[in-house]
Amino acid sequence: MRPATRRPPRQFRPDIEGLRAVAVLGVVLYHAHVGILRGGFVGVDVFFVISGYLITGLLWRELEQRGRVNLPAFYGRRARRLLPASILVIVVTAVAARHWLPPLEVPSVSKDGIAAALYVANYRFAFAHTNYLNPTTTASSPFQHYWSLGVEEQFYLLWPLLLLAASLVWRYRPRYQHQRGRAVPGASATGPAEGSRRSPPSRATAGVVLAGVTVASFFLSLWLTHANQPWAFFSLPSRAWELGAGGVLALATPHLSRVPRLAAEVLGWAGVAVIVGAFLLISSTTPFPGTAALAPVAGTVAVLAAGGRAGLTGPVLLLGRPVMRMIGRISYSWYLWHWPFLILAPDALGHPLDLWQNLLVAALSGVVAIASFLLIENPARTWAWLSALPRRSLLAGGTLSVSGAVACVLVSASLPSLTGHGIAKVATLHPDAPIHQKSAPPASGPTTTIDPLVAQAASLTAQVNAQVAASLGIRDVPANLTPSLADADESNSPTFYDGCMDSYLDDTVDNCAFGDVGSSTRVVLFGDSHASMWFPAVDYAANQHGWQLYNWAKATCPPLYDIPIYSPVLGRNFSECETWRQNVLALIQQDHPALVILAMTRDYASIYGFSSYDQQWLTGLGQMVATIRHIGPKVLVISQVPIPPGPVYDCLSEHLTDAVACTMPVGQVVNEAGMADERAVVTAAGGTYLDIQPWFCTAQTCGVIVGNILMWRDASHITEPYSVFLGPAMSADLAEALPPT
């Protein structure tokens, strides 16, 4: 049995251990919502540079000393270093998620865990268009932090091969020179001498090759940051330049010995300052990675370059402190544990955490990380039997990865059935009263004329409200629930998937026509995704009354007049929304519709920063109504739906026999004061305000189920079946706003 190849020795750098502490503290405190560290997430970029520097240095020393790289030994060391702790956290997190998360979330989380165990979590999140910095639509996965491990593990797989290829460019150069007829010292008439083949590889040649790859990756990152931010954030090709920067620096190490000590000192402390500045100044609204990532990368390169030349008065004065080195030593385990602790703690405790509670949970995860380091990470890395033969480490790593993935599959498979019990009465409305004529006043009694349009609208609203009230007492989630809990989040209006709702980056209007497309009476549904969710109800009205209906809706673009919107996703003003709104107004001017229906969510504070119902919002809405009325059409504004505290299907999946637990007090989910302000502004501008609260709530409580129909497909939008159910009520209200001539 031959012993495994020993790694070439390297000088220990306490400043690097301390730099790891800076990186992990930035990440952990950012995730704990310590407000001053708005850019603490760039600690991951610091880790990337350190990894590129250390791995490239290790590989190059082996190339110089032995003329080759023992790839099985290298990959075995990586497996021992990374996988035991990583897979342990995956299994524990999957089991904890099964215990504490709503059952409907567990299958998706388990898939995230499988991707993490197989080193491709970064691409799973990229394909899902996950917004790491602004998670506004769905809860963050407890495995989301594994994206960075995916990037590093993919880098470790490919970088040694690239480095070997770069070294071979120089190693076999004498052979190519001989073949071209040039004399080469040490080369015989039949080919290069043995010594020429084994000549030391050239740092300069390899550095040029790796620098080229690094620069290409950087420019790809710049482009993707604006073209497709999730892919820029999560993918290896757009992040490789950060690891490559450390790698190129490692190849330049011999030249750094000539840097004057004072210059190295200044360079090192400047690097620390730049990293801290990035923690403080970069934020979730900064386009990232893009050019902003240059700050943490350059700062880390500066600290690493200063190195030992800066002496004891350099950054090692801070970074080499025992407490910093201790934190740096457990940084990998702490990084693994802190995120699932912070994500799962609110579900485990039953309430959101404040700052101090987050810090306490983060500290507790640090204690667990110390135990994990002492009992798992370090023993696995230094286990003599495991490290004696590379194949043992590789087999153990592969077994661990498969075991982690299988554990996630078993967790998902262990979920109970989410089918409810019993059969609920099918919810339906009965539009009995005629709507095309006004009744004459009675022969005697009060002389008030009763408008049948108003009467029927009131009658249908009363029917809906009665069924809402009757359903508030439902305990068992119905077995015939429509849509089912598992299908709820896919229960979209047809316009979400038939190309008739414009996407985030569209600025042109898809002119899709519905209803009676030959009718001269045109109606426009104008707004964001909340306008599209009302499409089935409005389409019912259009077909009943013989109207031509246009659905002009665009994702996350509220129909407010002349309000610029800054998009943190794009890192700039949302010009596509501004252009799109102007294009809609131009079409209204051109087509002369009889009625324009405005519908939108009022929950934009977390996305764009301005609060719904504030003065800016009210001014923009009033101006939009007035502008459209000036063009000619009548305007009806649909009020906000109640906003549940979270996805309703999650709540019901946890309370299959106690659906009442998911109903909501009106005061918590309806902003009645804001709606009153909106009504006043809309009415003053010449529009009609449709209060749809009775379609969802009684005076005290808002429901989640009406008969056999699930109201909500998430924490904001209604399901398609509920929109269809409300069609007769919507039809009556629209007829009242646009009575037949």
Residue 552's CATH number: 3.40.50.1110
- Give me the torsion for CA of 617, 621, 622, 624, rounded to 10°: 140
With beta carbons less than 8 A apart as the criterion, state whether 492 and 526 touch.
no
Structural contact between residues 593 and 602, judged by C-beta atoms closer than 8 angstroms: no
Pairing of strands 701-702, 709-710: unpaired
Q: Does 554 lie in the same domain as 473?
A: yes
- Same domain, yes or no, for 316 and 364? yes
Q: Is 58 helix (H, G, I), strand (E, B) or coil?
A: helix
Q: Which residue in 81, 91, 85 sits closest to 393, CA to CA?
A: 81
Asked whether residue 367 falls in the same domain as residue 513, the answer is no
- Residue 313: count other Cβ atoms within 10 Å of its Cβ: 12
State whether 43 and 134 are in the same domain.
Answer: yes
Q: Note the pLDDT of residue 199.
A: 58
Q: How far is CA 352 from the centre of its chain?
A: 19
The pair of three-digit structure tokens given for residue 247, joined into one six-digit string: 């790698």
> Between β-strands 705-706 and 701-702, what pairing exists: parallel, antiparallel or unpaired?
unpaired
In a domain, 654, yes or no: no
Q: How many CB atoms lie within 10 A of CB 679?
A: 17
Question: In 3D, which of 508, 516, 524 has the Cα closest to residue 548?
Answer: 516
Which of 84, 594, 622 has the alpha carbon at shortest distance from 336?
84
443 found inside a domain: no
Q: Where would I find the H helices in 259-389?
A: 261-281, 294-306, 316-319, 322-329, 331-349, 355-372, 378-382, 384-388
Which two three-digit tokens encode residue 254? 């011999």
Whether 659 maps to a domain, the answer reads no
Nearest to 551 by CA among 500, 587, 498, 492: 500
What was the pLDDT predicted at 195?
40
The whole-angstrom separation of Cα 258 and Cα 425 is: 84
Positive or negative torsion for Cα 83, 84, 86, 88: positive
3-state secondary structure 181-232: CCCCCCCECCECCHHHHCCCCCHHHHHHHHHHHHHHHHHHHHHHHHHCHHHH
Asked whether residue 626 is domain-assigned, the answer is yes
Q: Which of 535, 549, 734, 560 is nearest to 634 (CA)?
A: 734
Residue 364 tokens, joined: 């507790």
What CA–CA distance (Å, rounded) separates 217 from 213? Answer: 6
Can you state the angle between helices 43-66 and 146-171, rounded to 10 degrees?
30
CA distance linking residue 504 with residue 543, whole number of Å: 29
* Short-list 329, 277, 371, CA closest to 39: 277
Q: How far apart are CA 87 and CA 664, in angstroms?
A: 40
Q: Extract the tokens encoding 299.
A: 């700062």
Please report, to the nearest 10 degrees, the dihedral formed by the alpha carbons of residues 583, 589, 591, 595 taken in order.
Answer: 100
Token match 């059969």: residue?
Answer: 423
Q: Return the structure tokens found at 264.
A: 């190295």
Q: How far is CA 394 from CA 2, 125, 157, in A?
A: 17, 27, 13
Note whether 49 and 297 are within 8 A (CB).
yes
CA dihedral 229, 113, 418, 413 (to 10 degrees): 150
Q: Kindly give, in sequence order, each residue whose CB lies less than 8 Å from that of residue 561, ignoring residues fewer than 6 positions away.
A: 581, 620, 621, 623, 624, 627
Structure tokens at 101: 């998360």
Q: Are residues 569 and 456 in the same domain?
A: yes
Range 61-67 contact pairs with CB under 8 angstroms and sequence separation of 24 or more: 61/7, 61/8, 61/10, 62/7, 62/8, 63/163, 63/164, 63/167, 63/201, 64/8, 64/200, 64/201, 65/8, 66/5, 66/8, 67/198, 67/200
Looking at the domain assignment, is residue 711 inside a domain? yes
Q: What is the pLDDT of residue 180?
A: 45
Q: Are residues 534 and 592 in the same domain?
A: yes
Are 471 and 396 within one domain?
no
Length, in residues, of the chain: 741
Residues forming a β-bridge with 182: none
Q: Are residues 626 and 732 in the same domain?
A: yes
Residue 541 half-sphere exposure toward CB, CA atoms < 13 A: 31
Spatial contact of 559 and 530, defined as CB atoms under 8 Å apart = no
What pLDDT shows up at residue 200?
61
Q: What is the extent of the structural domain holding 37? A: 14-183+193-413
For 406, residues 6+ apart whose C-beta sits below 8 A from its C-beta are none
In the chain, the number of structural domains is: 2
Position 183 scores a pLDDT of 43
Show which of 393, 413, 433 is a domain's final residue. 413
Mean pLDDT by 10 residues, the chain (741 residues): 48 90 97 94 97 94 86 94 96 96 92 96 93 69 96 95 78 49 41 46 84 96 92 96 96 87 93 96 90 97 88 89 96 97 93 94 97 95 90 94 96 85 81 49 51 81 92 90 90 85 86 89 95 95 94 92 80 87 95 95 78 86 96 96 90 91 93 94 96 95 94 92 95 87 62
- Could you give the C-alpha distances from 485 to 66, 209, 396, 473, 657, in angstroms and in order? 61, 54, 40, 19, 14
Q: Tell whether 579 is covered by a domain.
A: yes
Q: Residue 521 phi/psi, 5° resolution?
A: -95, 110
Among the candidates 363, 385, 413, a domain finishes at 413
Q: Are residues 351 and 479 in the same domain?
A: no
CA separation for the pair 361, 352 (Å, rounded):
12
**Rounded (5°) CA angle 265-269-275:** 150
Residue 7 lies in a domain: no
The pLDDT of residue 193: 41
Same domain, 397 and 459: no
**Which residue do the tokens 């703690």 mark?**
345
Same domain, 409 and 457: no
The residue ranges of DSSP E strands in 448-560, in sequence order, are 513-515, 522-527, 548-553
Beta-carbon-side half-sphere exposure of residue 56 (alpha carbons within 13 Å): 29
Please tell me whether residues 336 and 481 are part of one structural domain: no
CA–CA separation, 21 vs 371, rounded Å? Answer: 17
Q: Are 199 and 90 in contact (CB under 8 A)?
A: no
**Residue 430 covered by a domain:** no
